[in-house]
Amino acid sequence: MAVMRRDECPERDARAAAAGNRTLRQETMDNGRTAVPGDPGSDRRRGGHRPNPRVLLVDDDPTTRNLIVHFLRKEDFVVVKASGGSEGMARARGDRPDLLILDAAVPGMDAFELLSLLRREPETEGLPVLMLSSLEDEELIVKSLDAGADYIVKPFSPRILVAKVKKILRDAQDHVVDHRPL
């Protein structure tokens, strides 16, 4: 007979996975309290800390998405994907990411329109954004920076992307950053 630890619950984990959530595996801390990864109580916007930062990636190119997901997951980031602007907006509202990586040319909604909508909502107004583009266009870069987003040009070095993501998240943790447009 298999012995299951008190904090293991395959049915709950299966329900969470089916719902698209991360596995909800509880761990007992030294003080006897229970921590649930991804629990809203540990959300950074409520003064807590998530063990693995959550990144929302909005890009319509599956190759780019898979590459970014691969390198971010190697660094223990939780990555939520969306292929268009409307889906990205819904995911930003529902998944409460710590960072948004946004392709400048996503279908369904202009990237700057999406960014503007996110800045108008209390839950997402301070969300750090890293804009991706295959264009090294000065106007687009300046527009992104003016909108409160950092910028990286495709193709990019995976090491530089990961370093930039870590820096943006570190800066956001160190102090409240005003990401509203200038």
Contact 131, 151 (CB under 8 A): yes
Looking at every residue in the chain, the average pLDDT score rounds to: 77
Whether the model pTM is above 0.75: no
Q: Residue 97 pLDDT more than 50?
A: yes
Please report which confidence band the pLDDT of residue 174 belongs to, taking 50, 70 and 90 as the band edges. confident
Least confident segment among 3-17, 56-70, 139-153: 3-17
Q: Are strands 149-153 and 99-103 parallel, antiparallel or unpaired?
A: unpaired
Q: What is the DSSP string of 36-72?
A: -TT-GGG-GGGT---SS-EEEEE-S-HHHHHHHHHHH
- Domain segments of the chain as ranges: 42-174
Q: What are phi and psi of 172, to 5 degrees?
A: -70, -35
- Which tens digit of pLDDT belongs to each residue from 110-153? 899 999 999 999 999 999 999 999 989 999 999 999 999 999 99
Q: Which residue has the higher pLDDT, 50 or 36?
A: 50
- CA 17 from chain centre, in angstroms, equals 18
**For the residues 62-75, what does the mean pLDDT come to?**
96
Q: Could you tell me where the DSSP H helices lie in the chain?
A: 10-18, 62-74, 85-95, 111-120, 138-146, 158-174
| Distance separating alpha carbons of residues 135 and 64, to the nearest angstrom | 15
Q: Residue 4 pLDDT more than 60?
A: no
Q: Residue 160 pLDDT more than 50?
A: yes
Contact 126, 179 (CB under 8 A): yes
| Distance separating alpha carbons of residues 174 and 37, to the nearest angstrom | 21
Residue found by looking up tokens 């495709």 in the block: 154
**For the residues 103-114, what does the mean pLDDT come to?**
91
Q: Residue 42 pLDDT more than 70?
A: no
Q: Residue 176 pLDDT more than 60?
A: no
Q: Ranked by mean pLDDT, which of 8-12, 35-39, 47-51, 53-57 comes out on top?
A: 53-57
**For the residues 75-101, what does the mean pLDDT come to?**
96
Radius of gyration of the chain (CA): 18
Extract the tokens encoding 125: 């107004």
**For the residues 104-109, what does the mean pLDDT come to?**
90
Domain 42-174 classification at class level: alpha beta
Q: Residue 164 pLDDT more than 80?
A: yes
Supply the pLDDT for residue 151: 95
